[in-house]
Amino acid sequence: MEDVKSFLEKYYQQYNNRDFIKDDPIQIPHRFSKKQDVEITAFWTAILAWGQRKTIINKATELFERMDNSPHDFIINHKDADLKKFLNFKHRTFQADDTLYFIHFLKYHYKQYDSLEEAFFPGKITDSNKVHYYGLVRFREYFFSLENHLHRTTKHISSPARKSTCKRLNMFLRWMVRKDKKGVDFGIWNKIEPSQLRIPLDVHVDRVARHLKLLTRKQRDWGAVEELTTNLRKLDPIDPVKYDFALFGFGANEKLI
């Protein structure tokens, strides 16, 4: 495992720096300074994060330009007529109706709470190892608790209770929770520790993790997320998900021998 840790530490240091931002969707929330704007743009960008990174960045840029690059203010104060500009916005299977429901939910939430953190972690969970799991389960239930949600929109918010890897939400939580001085992740949430996060498992992370024998489960599901995170926690129990930079960065940019 020492060789594996040395490998991961090397590429963690290589990719966890501000140079990483310019080619990654995380650049979108980095354009904002207001906490709520960071949360909204990070969450929505993460949800749109499938396909080529350049396309994701372009679509997220387009979306928030339609909110005059003040998403929190727009969501709280918009009029019904202001929503017409979203009727032709789409990204892959994310359609106008999905956009309108996301706006509706975020307005409902931010009218009551100062932070999106409350949507995931409204209170204390005694089992610290389950904080992340129940946070994701609770968020999906809460997100679709409003009466006018459409069934088609439910596919955009995953849950570990449905065996999903929850890659996009895990990535969003990494952005919000991890705290270091590298300038990539934001670290603005405090109700969950970095040690409790789970790895965002995409095709690049999966491929490199299997090559390093950190992942053996055949299915790419929540069980695989737990297996990989557990093995990464053996290498760094305080901040295991930092190795997402190494696994993803190497997988997306380097060639396996």
Alpha carbon of 132 to those of 109, 121, 192, 229: distances in Å? 20, 9, 7, 12
Its pTM surpasses 0.85: yes
CA dihedral 219, 221, 225, 227 (to 10 degrees): -40
The pLDDT value given to residue 256: 62
* Distance from C-alpha of 151 to C-alpha of 167, rounded to nearest angstrom: 21
**Residue 126 CB contacts under 8 Å (≥ 6 apart), including other chains:** none
The pLDDT value given to residue 196: 96
Per-residue pLDDT of the chain (257 residues; tens, 9 = 90+): 769 999 999 999 999 999 999 999 999 999 999 999 999 999 999 999 988 999 999 999 999 999 999 999 999 999 999 999 999 999 999 999 999 999 999 999 999 999 999 999 987 776 778 899 999 999 999 999 998 888 999 999 999 999 999 999 999 999 999 999 999 999 999 999 999 999 999 999 999 999 999 999 999 999 999 999 999 999 999 999 999 999 999 988 876 64
- Coil/strand/helix, residue 91: strand
The pLDDT value given to residue 105: 98
Domain ranges in the chain are 2-253
Report which residue type is found at 46: A
Phi-psi domain of 69 (left: phi exceeds 0; alpha: psi -120 through 50; beta: other): left
Burial class (CB in 10 A: 0-12, 13-18, 19+), 185: buried
CA dihedral for 71, 72, 77, 79, sign (positive or negative): positive
* Distance from C-alpha of 24 to C-alpha of 19, rounded to nearest angstrom: 10
